[in-house]
Amino acid sequence: MRPFRFGVSLITPADTGAWRAKCRRAEELGYDVILVPDHLGMPAPFPALVAAAGATRRPRLGTFVLNAGFWNPALLAREVATTDALTGGRLELGLGTGYVQAEHETAGLPFGSPRERVDHLLRTVGELDRLLDPSGLPPGGPAASGRAPEEASAGPGERRRVPLLVGGNGDRMLRLAAERADIAAFTAVRSVPGSTTGRLEPLTAGEIDGRMAAYHRFATARPEPAELNLLVQLVAVTDDPSAAVRPLLARVPRFTEEQMRELPIVLVGTPEEIRAQVRAARERYGFSYLTVLEPHMEDFGKVIAGLRGE
């Protein structure tokens, strides 16, 4: 069973001083990875991660996740190589198809059908392998070769393969993550049909079981399992869990409170109750790497110390 890792996705733009301060705070709280998403209106991923590297010493730094539709593969390879160099080899590259049509329209970029978006991501991963991977590692990188991402670092002056995270829920995305990624990321939510603004709704616990079963079928040929990541949607350290989940129930009326609190993306209760939920998510689904959103950074920080080393 993999040991836990914890990441925080920083979503709010800030000036230099405030950005550095919250990155240092994430490190103080014990987060292993500082992450930046790829949405319009949020920080630009690569310069934000370079700034995070300058403010911290220990955490790794990741894109969570890049919207492949925003990027030309050759130009993206340049960004990745430069950012990895400027962060001292701490970069973890997260990729996804993108799901917010309105953002593509604002940027003047085609959105495409789900199939077209996955096709573009597949081409992007292939080009990045060609342009960035000098090591001869097989698809899937360090994980597929039996080497963990942290063991794949090159010596001084040598180039190295940046660990790859792929996030998605559909079968083709799960197959890509199973075959090519060092880290397979799950959101346990899906886009609301017809939404152009990125509205999401949670999967049920049973649906998550089904997606994990599909992933594991695709991953049977891997010599070494990938690390499994989950994006947590709500964290609340509280003595009143019912009150904490009530706003979610108002937005997703098809769930009962019991069903909502069963989801691994909803962590509410005392610190020890949340630790038990985190352990249960690893036991049931295999999630050892959990990411929380910036608004929940402090609350989940109260949980991390009690899980360190497990």
Distance between CA atoms of 29 and 20, rounded to whole angstroms?
14
Give the right CATH number for 5-235+277-307 from 3.20.20.105, 3.40.50.300, 3.20.20.30, 3.20.20.10.
3.20.20.30
Q: What is the pLDDT of residue 281?
A: 97
Mean pLDDT per block of 10 residues along the chain (310 residues) reads 96 98 98 98 98 98 98 97 97 96 96 96 96 60 40 45 94 96 95 89 95 97 95 98 95 93 97 98 97 98 95
pTM of the prediction?
Answer: 0.91
DSSP 107-168: HT-----HHHHHHHHHHHHHHHHHHH--S-PPTTHHHHTT--GGG----TT---PPPEEEE-
For 90, residues 6+ apart whose C-beta sits below 8 A from its C-beta are: 53, 59, 60, 61, 84
Q: What is the pLDDT of residue 135?
A: 57
Between CA 210 and CA 219, with CA 213 as vertex, the angle to 5 degrees is 145
Q: How many CA atoms lie within 13 A of 25 on its CB side?
A: 17
Domain boundaries, the chain: 5-235+277-307
Q: What is the pLDDT of residue 145?
A: 35
Distance between CA atoms of 295 and 299, rounded to whole angstroms?
9
Q: Which residue has the tokens 């973890």?
A: 92
